[in-house]
């Protein structure tokens, strides 16, 4: 029996050093694309995939992320008094159901695998999604919903994958590929950030995963991998051969919002999808090209 996917883990403990000084006193996941913080895009995408339980893996200085999904009484009251119903609507979309979001602290930065392991009590025996909020995907069907469909098809682990230039393999988790039908790829191996010469392919993992709880057993070993960190990729690799494991070539465009260029491109791409501002954006862009 395939269990329903209801849980999402959102690792948000990173320091955001690539975005200093903006991230000195502010969580990088609060950076907005157009007018919405990255973390909210991730939560909305998870909801669209049927998820109703959320776990933020936070760290010191990240309380704004928890606040963002709470009720803001004073703000709501003021908006109501002033008759600002549109702003009230926008605010409502940021609230989660009571008790549906928990936050766990990753006390020390030992890597993504360690961050996920910190959510073990939340995950329990259930399948779960991981969304890395830095990765933003613009698509017809939300990326995680596409992954969820593949999970219900295969009954196992699924990661979102995309082709990257060879010279960039050392930035990502890379797949060794088995059977490939053009959409779903059988995963035969996984390597974290291999040098281009050592990379088994140029098919890379982006920040969307659906994993089986057994991965936690492997993460618990706290084996150090690339960059001397506990790598999620290494934990996942140990599931290969034990459980179904696939890569999904999702439909959509991914923006690396942890990178300045990716972040700026996301602003433009997402702004052009907003009917109320798209014409003005298109107009002013002409002046720069």
Cα→Cα distances 159→65, 83, 149, 208, Å: 25, 45, 12, 6
What is the pattern of x (binds ligand G1P, CB under 6 A) and - over residues 118-147?
--------------x--x------------
Name residues contacting ligand G1P, limited to 93-112 (CB under 6 A). 112
As measured in angstroms, the least distance from the Cβ of 78 to ligand G1P is 39
| Distance from chain centroid for Cα 118 | 16
- 172 or 245: whose CB is closer to ligand G1P? 172
DSSP 178-210: EEE-SSEEEEEEEEES--GGG-S-SEEEEEEEE
Among 5, 205, 210, 248, binds ligand G1P (CB under 6 A): 205
Nearest to 110, CA basis, from 249, 277, 224, 268: 224
Pairing of strands 101-105, 203-211: unpaired
Among 206, 210, 211, 230, binds ligand G1P (CB under 6 A): 206
Cβ proximity of 129 and 208 under 8 Å: yes
As measured in angstroms, the least distance from the Cβ of 258 to ligand G1P is 7
- 124 or 227: whose CB is closer to ligand G1P? 227
Among 156, 173, 235, 247, binds ligand G1P (CB under 6 A): 173
Cα→Cα distances 238→112, 187, 214, 215, 234, Å: 16, 12, 10, 8, 7
- 16 or 37: whose CB is closer to ligand G1P? 16
Name residues contacting ligand G1P, limited to 210-239 (CB under 6 A). 232-233
DSSP state of 7: E
Q: If you compute the radius of gyration of the chain from its CA atoms, what whole number of angstroms results? A: 19
- 192 part of the interface to ligand G1P, by CB under 6 A: yes
As measured in angstroms, the least distance from the Cβ of 109 to ligand G1P is 11
Point out the residue whose Cβ comes nearest to ligand G1P: 173
Cβ proximity of 232 and 219 under 8 Å: yes
- 247 part of the interface to ligand G1P, by CB under 6 A: no
As measured in angstroms, the least distance from the Cβ of 118 to ligand G1P is 15
Where in 50-202 does DSSP place strands (E)? 53-58, 101-105, 128-131, 135-138, 157-163, 173-180, 184-192
- 7 or 208: whose CB is closer to ligand G1P? 208
Cβ proximity of 248 and 116 under 8 Å: no
Q: How many chain residues interact with ligand G1P (CB under 6 A)?
A: 12
Residues that bind ligand G1P (CB under 6 A): 112, 132, 135, 172-173, 192, 204-207, 232-233
């Amino acid at each position: 029996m395939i269990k329903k996917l209801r849980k999402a883990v959102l690792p948000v403990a990173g320091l955001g050093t690539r975005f200093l000084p903006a991230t000195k006193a502010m969580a990088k996941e609060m950076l907005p694309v157009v007018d919405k913080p990255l973390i909210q895009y991730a939560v909305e995408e998870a909801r669209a995939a049927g998820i109703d339980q959320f776990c933020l893996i936070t760290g010191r200085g990240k309380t704004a992320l928890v606040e963002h999904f709470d009720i803001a009484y004073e703000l709501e009251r003021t908006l109501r008094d002033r008759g600002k119903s549109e702003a009230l609507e926008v605010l409502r979309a940021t609230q989660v159901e009571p008790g549906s979001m928990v936050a766990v602290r990753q006390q020390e930065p030992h890597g993504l695998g360690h961050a996920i392991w910190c959510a073990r009590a939340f995950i329990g025996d259930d399948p779960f999604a991981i969304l890395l909020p830095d990765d933003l995907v613009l698509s017809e069907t939300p990326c995680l919903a596409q992954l969820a469909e593949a999970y219900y098809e295969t009954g196992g682990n699924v990661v979102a994958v995309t082709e990257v230039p060879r010279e960039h393999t050392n930035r990502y988790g890379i797949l060794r590929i088995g059977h490939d039908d053009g959409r779903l790829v059988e995963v035969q191996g996984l390597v974290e950030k291999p040098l281009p010469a050592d990379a088994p392919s140029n098919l890379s993992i982006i920040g969307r995963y659906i994993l089986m709880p057994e991965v936690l057993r492997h993460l618990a070993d706290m084996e150090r991998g690339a960059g001397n960190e506990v790598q999620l990729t290494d934990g996942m690799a140990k599931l290969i051969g034990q459980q179904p494991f696939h890569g999904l070539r999702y439909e959509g465009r991914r923006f690396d919002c942890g990178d300045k260029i990716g972040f700026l491109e996301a602003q433009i791409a997402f702004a052009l999808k907003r009917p109320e501002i798209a014409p003005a954006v298109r107009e002013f862009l002409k002046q720069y090209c």
